[in-house]
Amino acid sequence: MINIPGRIEIANLPTKIEKLERLSSKLVGQNIFLKRDDQTGTEMSGNKVRKLEFSVKEALDQGCDLLITCGGIQSNHARATAAVAAKLGISSYLVLRTDGEEEIDGNYFLDKVLGAKIRFITPEEYREKRMEIMESIKEELSKEGYNPYIIPEGASNGIGTFGYFKAMEEIVQQEKEMGIKFDAIVMAVGSGGTYSGLFLANKIMGYGAKIYGVNVSNDEEYFKNQIEKVINESLFYIDKTFRFSKEEINIIDGYVGRGYALSRSEEIEFIHEVAKLEGVILDPVYTGKAMYGLVNEIKEGNFKKHNNILFIHTGGLYGLFPKKDLFSF
């Protein structure tokens, strides 16, 4: 056993694991199972709340009463942060990236419903100085009497890593209950925290699964560096020595498509087909691209050594609504 930081309990856990029977039947030799982290809640649905359970516990322990975070205009993490803050009776301030006028829809609509204060910044500002901007907001709000706490993009930092460390423990328990062993675990990678937590637990506890991430932005080298950074940050919280190589981090590159949160017609068609086939709705930013990538890799024969594959459904349903015009019915 290993001692990890404490958390607040907000998510609906454990989330179930189900087999995608009809999709698996189309992929001879591979069984695809789905970890339903899209069902961690309603307002807080998705993978982010697992990480927030640890980040917000740290914030509350420090006496903080306002959460500051950042993301794209349709950020699932930003919406989950606003929902957690409202549930706990504290405030939230979201720094959202946009390049123009935005329709009040999807996650952005829910951010407003949940009472978050919002500041828009350009993609350039977001890329170059989002932390600087959040620090300046923290300073301003501190003068107003608040005690703010900054959560980085996706809650993907040392403390947030433990959300998916715990999730890996949950998966291993479910394997025992189901009488199955997942030899590969696959997920979308957008900020690296989900992958980092699963990788850390898998490595330290010796579970033996192969962890794969399908990047939805940037490239393989960027995420290997980002994940290495996040894992190293997490080690400050535990009393365990741990060594690993970046070469052990498996990123499946090549499915970013037109770019982050930009959809290709084949991705939208795939989301639509999976919905009709399995009654499961993937999102256009993360899970749609990642599952599209996984299925394509299986068809190309790159997963022959894996029989039982667990895909982490990280949520994102609300981000589908602003893309409704891309669907053909």
Please give the C-alpha separations between residue 228 and each of 88, 156, 221, 234, 247, in angstroms, as whole numbers.
Answer: 32, 12, 11, 10, 10
d(CA 126, CA 116) in angstroms, rounded, equals 19
Secondary structure (3-state) at 121: strand
Q: What are phi and psi of 187, to 5 degrees?
A: -155, 165
39 Cβ partners below 8 Å, 6+ apart? 12, 15, 16, 45
The DSSP element (H or E) to which 257 belongs, if any, is none
Q: How far apart are CA 162 and CA 196, in angstroms?
A: 9
User: Measured between alpha carbons, how far is 92 from 79 in angstroms, rounded to an integer?
Assistant: 10
Query: Exactly one of 45, 55, 75, 191 is catalytic; which is it?
Result: 75
Alpha-carbon distance 8 to 247, whole Å?
A: 34
Active site residue 25: no
User: Among 116, 117, 189, 187, which residue's Cα sits nearest to residue 153?
Assistant: 189
Which candidate, 42, 36, 41, places its Cα nearest to that of 15?
36
Cβ-in-10-Å burial (0-12, 13-18, 19+) of 143 comes to exposed
Q: What is the DSSP letter of 274?
A: H
Active-site annotation, residues = 75
